[in-house]
Structure 1
Amino acid sequence: MTPAEHRTLAAALGAALGPGTRTIETHISTLLLAGDFAYKLRKPLRLPFLDFSTPAARRRDCEEELRLNRRTAPELYLDVRPVQGSLAAPRVGTPGDASGAIDWLLRMRRFDDDLLLARLAARGALGAAEVDALAREVADFHAALPASPAAWGEPEDVLRWARANFAALGDTRGLRELHGWSEREFERIAPRLALRRAQGRVREGHGDLHLANIVMLDGRPVPFDAIEFNPALRHADTMADAAFVFMDLWRHGLPSLAWRFASAYAERGGDHEGLALLPFFAVYRALVRAQVAALRNDEAACARDIGVAREIAAARRARPLLLLTVGLSGSGKSTVALELLQALGALRLRSDVERKRLAGLAAEARPTPAQAGALYAAAMTRRTYACLGRLAGTLLEAGLNVVVDAAALRRHERDALRALAEAHGAEFRLVECVAPEAVLRERIARRAAEGRDASDADQEVLGLQLRIVEIPAADEGALRLDTDADPATVARRCAALAARLAAQ
């Protein structure tokens, strides 16, 4: 089939599908929108990265797209159907009937384009709830994937794709410094990439996980349009997928939500070590978007995306910050930590979550009395703080700001994290969250009734904490933050504190 014949077929199919059918063309496909359905025809192309030159090849690609996208969007991806008849008088056949097929198409269910996350972001309607849900969705998707075959995910492949961006963008856009940064950053992360590949962190992910490929359906963010035509672009470290979301939130002017997403993604799936790769992969993804803009001859968009890459590269700091939020149960330290990570551009480590992860429990699981005895024993507390220190060290080495959310009622627990920061050349700040005892007790009771938080602290635990707490001494330099206020006021106090910390 020639390109002209494809155009004839697409036009005739549009007429056959009925009045009101809309046609959308991409560089590799023609999409026909008719009623509740969308029909995707591949163009008869052979390019360096794909081959749609024969009907058999186009059928295989339709089937691959169906397989891949049913993993995340089964409600959207319906079936592969033959196109039967003639170029001038085609008809859409039924699945499984290949007789007389002249071409193949993928049938999908249509959705409201205004519910795309990119559109929500553009009109200021993308908020924390959607981002938190997306973090859970992506983390759970990645967790369910098997490791890729050994042929995929060599560190040298990662470098090759990164270098391809710079080659495609050329030498006229002032990229020499950013190119040097990418080369140095790859040297730093190459051993970790190899280790993660050996650990099974290279998986067949989405490959093109930006906000225009995610839609809200029934209140749930649904990724779709995974890359089907080039397996090398989707068999990658899972952080390459997560970094695309992070970068695109930043690209839409939402850096605070980008940090919230990255932190929530790691908290859900436990892949904090992977966050050490975040700056490299996010810069790579920004330059992918710059390359796409350049191919469209949109120099303004290309320059914007290169600017995003530079901003993200600058987020990797020579002297990062380790911020420890401490306080009694119910003092609001987790809320404060979440506010501060967004304001400062940081990643949160939460003791309640990591303690349960060490015990093989989900964050919101309620331990049995027998489990609780072991979970909150002194030995598990030591393991938990050792884990927090190890993860914080990994992130600090990567030049990333870290917020540790832990009660840290004993001075030696706080001093250990202070020493860790010093060992990694990082700044250390201590924030003490405080509220009256009556407020603490009311919050604990409400939290227990809701049953949605990782903390298991009850009134008895608070009583014990009040007896054993070692209040930060003057020489610890703690910054006190009063959380006895409505959420908006607490958020303003956190913003003011973050501004103060950033100015120091």
Structure 2
Amino acid sequence: MTQSLIEALQNPALYPHPVEGFEVIETHISWVLLTGPYAYKLKKPVNFGFLDFSSREAREHFCREELRLNQRTAPDVYLEVLPVTGSLEAPQLGGDGPILDHILKMRQFPQSGLLSNVLARGELTNAHIDELAREIADLHADATHVPMEHALGSADAVMAPVLQNFEQIRPMLEDAADLAQLQHLEAWAEDTFTRLEPLLDRRKVDGFIRECHGDIHLANVTLLDDHVLLFDCIEFNEPFRLIDVISDAAFLAMDLEDRGLKALSRRFINAYLELTGDYQGLTLLPFYKAYRAMVRAKISLFRLAQEQDPAERAAILGQYRNYAALAESYSAIPSRFLAITHGVSAVGKSHVAMRLVEAFGAIRLRSDVERKRLLPAAAEAELYSAAATLATYSHLHQQAASILLAGFPVVLDATYLKQAQREAAHAVAEQSGVPFLILDCHAPQAVIATWLAERQKAGVDPSDATLAVIRAQEASREPLSEAEQSLSGRVDTDQAASLDGLVERIRRRLPGL
């Protein structure tokens, strides 16, 4: 019936807007009818277990759920649900007659804007990733919390689909090496779950299980009206959507890494954490990234049973093995270090810190951000008082210790102009058993003044420093001691070669990175 309906709907007279032509995109669960200005989505009457669109009532329900959920991030794209009335031969949109089905009306946008296609053209930028991190952070901040009495979100509920992946993959594999790797991955997942189980349960108590997107990857993000827009969330299956926010973010991080974009993945995670403050979630990140990679691995194998061509079968197995190898990479024991920046405001410390993020997977903690997170209601005089500064550095050091314990290197982006502040950070490194680095940042005063003016004009930097503040910092700074100089590396931040040299020196000094 639905196929006949799709054909009958290809009549320009049915639509209250100009129709440039009809194009039908078919997936395993829906048809999308493109008309030029608008797209109309009709769900197929199918039941795959993980989704059930077999009844008209179910299709209406999930059309309305798709509208509700996607209007959170794309209200100008997801417009309305319309009844399809009349007869198969002469359907109407929004009429008063007997209802044949329901259809979701959306604003049509060009496929060229999908970030997966933007990447294919070599046009994906840091700015796209930063904006997407903010979109996801905003979605999570506003998302409905899953109540404690709900079955989803407990540690056992989190582990169930992880184990199901292995159960479903094993019968599809024949190669001994593939089976041995799968056994290793399953054992790692079970051991990791045992270690993380208390934290997984605490995440629900703390409100981190929310109504998320569930399917964040580059093909579900587009550029529209010069902005990044997240769309096509999971509406048909609550267990895929009512999840930990860090699991939602982990999907995109994994997708970027699968595409060879490790630096962008690290940049995304840092931007997301800076916006949300959810550094506790880092402990769970490798576990969730491995789970997401194994979901993709499983899906790639589903075509194997129906494929007889040897070359196609080899390609399918190759794709599976790439995902399995990616999942296995998340079980590796990481190399860690603690680095601090040293220098006046606007000298380029944040840029230096970001290079370590992208090169080594470090987590950057910015004093300007954490100070305001710690004291959100403080007036400026209080915010920059001696007591507030002491509390900010103490907070940075506590967070750094936790992140190091979670298995990540850390770079603390702050001025560290006082020796006591540097000694306190060094103590964290020693207590954590990791190398300690001081990134000694320098730039000519004229360059600093130019950079300060540029960021003040842009109005997006969290720092409130002025030229007067910078002059006061220069006057009161305590120089690095002889012992500290042995732990430091000078960076002339206005010279790209100097920063490149620092990264290379760190690689040589810490070869496990």
Q: TM-score, normalised by structure 2?
A: 0.89
Partner Cα distance (2:493, 2:363) in 1:
25
Partner Cα distance (2:300, 2:11) in 1:
33
Are the equivalent residues in 2 in contact too, given 1:339–1:494 (CA < 8 A)?
no
Letter in 2 for 1:176: Q
Are the equivalent residues in 2 in contact too, given 1:80–1:107 (CA < 8 A)?
yes
1:161 is matched with 161
Letter in 1 for 2:285: L
Q: Please point out which of 270, 288, 291 is paired with 2:295.
A: 288
Partner Cα distance (1:480, 1:19) in 2:
61
For structure 2, which runs of at least 5 residues remain unmatched after alignment? 305-315
2:311 is matched with none
2:442 is matched with 434
Letter in 1 for 2:52: D
2:346 is matched with 330
Partner Cα distance (1:324, 1:269) in 2:
22
Partner Cα distance (2:503, 2:212) in 1:
36
Which range is displaced more, 418-427 or 397-406?
Answer: 418-427
Q: After superposition, where does 1:81-92 map in structure 2 within 5 Å?
A: 81-87=82-88, 89-92=89-92
Letter in 1 for 2:320: C
Aligned-residue offset at 1:65: 0.5
Are the equivalent residues in 1 in contact too, given 2:489–2:502 (CA < 8 A)?
no
Q: Please point out which of 113, 117, 124 is paired with 1:126.
A: 124
2:308 is matched with none
1:42-75 per-position Cα deviation (integer Å, ceiling 9, x unaligned)? 1112232122111111111111111100111111
Aligned-residue offset at 1:262: 0.3
Q: Please point out which of 372, 381, 392 is paired with 1:356.
A: 372
SS state at 2:80 partner: strand
* Pair 429,180 (structure 1): closer, same or farther in 2 beyond 3 Å: farther
1:24 is matched with 25
Partner Cα distance (1:307, 1:491) in 2:
32
1:313 is matched with 331
SS state at 1:325 partner: strand
Partner Cα distance (1:343, 1:423) in 2:
25
Residue 60 of structure 2 corresponds to residue 59 of structure 1: yes
Letter in 2 for 1:478: L
Partner Cα distance (1:236, 1:98) in 2:
39
Aligned-residue offset at 1:278: 1.3
Partner Cα distance (1:283, 1:498) in 2:
28
Are the equivalent residues in 2 in contact too, given 1:84–1:91 (CA < 8 A)?
yes
Partner Cα distance (1:253, 1:495) in 2:
20
* Pair 447,24 (structure 1): closer, same or farther in 2 beyond 3 Å: closer
Letter in 2 for 1:482: V
Alignment length, in residue pairs?
A: 486
Partner Cα distance (1:122, 1:306) in 2:
23
1:217-265 per-position Cα deviation (integer Å, ceiling 9, x unaligned)? 1222111111011112111111111111111111111100100000001
Partner Cα distance (2:319, 2:34) in 1:
28
* Pair 497,47 (structure 1): closer, same or farther in 2 beyond 3 Å: same
Are the equivalent residues in 1 in contact too, given 2:492–2:499 (CA < 8 A)?
no
Identity %: 41
Q: Please point out which of 347, 361, 366 is paired with 2:363.
A: 347
Partner Cα distance (2:290, 2:213) in 1:
18
Letter in 1 for 2:491: D
Letter in 2 for 1:341: V
* Pair 50,421 (structure 1): closer, same or farther in 2 beyond 3 Å: same
1:62-98 per-position Cα deviation (integer Å, ceiling 9, x unaligned)? 11111100111111111111222333x142412xx56
* Pair 483,450 (structure 1): closer, same or farther in 2 beyond 3 Å: farther
Aligned-residue offset at 1:497: 4.1
Are the equivalent residues in 1 in contact too, given 2:20–2:36 (CA < 8 A)?
no
Aligned-residue offset at 1:400: 1.1
Residue 93 of structure 2 corresponds to residue 93 of structure 1: yes
Are the equivalent residues in 2 in contact too, given 1:331–1:483 (CA < 8 A)?
no
1:364 is matched with none
* Pair 52,442 (structure 1): closer, same or farther in 2 beyond 3 Å: closer
Are the equivalent residues in 1 in contact too, given 2:352–2:493 (CA < 8 A)?
no
1:269-320 per-position Cα deviation (integer Å, ceiling 9, x unaligned)? 2212222221111111111222222223333322222222223333x51x42
Aligned-residue offset at 1:484: 4.8
Aligned-residue offset at 1:435: 2.2
Q: TM-score, normalised by structure 1?
A: 0.91
SS state at 1:124 partner: coil
Partner Cα distance (1:24, 1:301) in 2:
25
Q: Please point out which of 479, 491, 495 is paired with 1:482.
A: 491
* Pair 484,221 (structure 1): closer, same or farther in 2 beyond 3 Å: closer
Which range is displaced more, 16-25 or 125-134?
Answer: 16-25
Partner Cα distance (2:227, 2:250) in 1:
20
* Pair 90,418 (structure 1): closer, same or farther in 2 beyond 3 Å: farther
Partner Cα distance (2:35, 2:506) in 1:
51
SS state at 2:331 partner: helix
Which range is displaced more, 374-383 or 257-266?
Answer: 374-383
Partner Cα distance (1:332, 1:235) in 2:
40
1:11-59 per-position Cα deviation (integer Å, ceiling 9, x unaligned)? 3334667784222221211222222222211111223212211111111
Letter in 1 for 2:212: G
Partner Cα distance (1:265, 1:108) in 2:
28
Q: After superposition, where does 1:205-244 map in structure 2 within 5 Å?
A: 205-244=212-251
